[in-house]
Structures are given as C-alpha cells and as structure tokens.
C-alpha cells in the first residue's frame, strides 16, 4: 500500500512539472509573438467580431476580462472573454488567441460534441488547476 502511495506522488509531481513547463513555454511564445503586429492592424476584439460575423453568429458578445492568458469562451452566457493582452492588442498573438476562442463559439453554435464534453470537464479541470497552483 505504501509503495502505491509513493507511485501516486511521483505521478502527481511529474504532472505538476509537465504542467509548469507547458505554462512557461506558452508564456514565452505569447511574449515573443505579442511584439509582432498584424498586417491589417486588427485588434483581438476586431478579429473576434469579424470571425463571429463571418460564421453568422450574432448572439455571442466579445468582452474584456482582467488578467493575462485568461481568455475563454463561456457557453453559459455566450461570451468570448479576451484578456488585457489580447482585447486591444493588434499583435499576431492577440489575433490567434481571439480566433481560437471564437472557434469554441463556432463549435458551440454547431453543437460540436467534443465541446460539450469539454464544457462538462471545466469544473473538474478548474478545481485541479487551483490545487496545482496551491501546491
């Protein structure tokens, strides 16, 4: 029994380290590509609105949310929430993040099955993420 607990801790620590490495890599890439402007000057907000319009989605709002890398699509209230570094920025990273989040809105509008599963997992992942930060 004691050996099993040790293995679980090793797995837990391995996952925590892998999660931290992914987060550091993402932040590094975000910083790098946040310095390169889009060729057309569109901000993250502009890209989001255009993508929603192009897909015939008029019941989703694009909002501003505090923080960095806090961007998300909320299917409950149909909002694309863009972080401070994305909403007003005209960088290629802001455009990519905004397009990614709008992709979830498009999936939701088309009843994409994996998005439904993702929505059900959000509370579990959120809880686990809070614990990982605490540890």
C-alpha distances (whole Å) from 15 to each of 25, 29, 77, 96, 134 are: 15, 21, 32, 27, 14
Whole-number Å distance between alpha carbons of 83 and 70: 5
* Contact present, 94 and 44 (Cβ < 8 Å): yes
Q: What are phi and psi of 61, to 5 degrees?
A: -100, 150
- Mean pLDDT per 10-residue interval, the chain, length 135 residues: 72 84 82 84 95 94 89 91 92 93 89 65 67 58
Q: What dihedral do alpha carbons 117, 120, 126, 127 form, nearest 10°? A: -120
* Contact present, 101 and 61 (Cβ < 8 Å): no
Q: How many structural domains are present in the chain?
A: 1
- Domain containing 55 equals 2-134
């Amino acid at each position: 029994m004691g050996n099993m607990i040790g293995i679980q801790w090793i797995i837990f620590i391995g996952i925590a380290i892998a999660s931290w490495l992914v987060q550091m890599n993402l932040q590094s890439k975000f910083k790098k590509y946040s310095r390169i402007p889009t060729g057309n000057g569109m901000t993250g907000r502009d890209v989001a609105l255009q993508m929603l319009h192009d897909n015939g989605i008029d019941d989703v709002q694009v909002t501003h949310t505090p923080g960095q890398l806090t961007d998300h699509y909320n299917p409950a209230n149909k909002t694309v929430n863009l972080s401070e570094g994305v909403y007003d920025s005209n960088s290629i990273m802001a455009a990519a993040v905004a397009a990614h989040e709008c992709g979830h809105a498009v999936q939701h509008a088309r009843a994409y099955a994996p998005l439904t599963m993702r929505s059900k997992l959000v509370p579990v992942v959120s809880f686990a993420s809070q614990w990982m930060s605490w540890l």
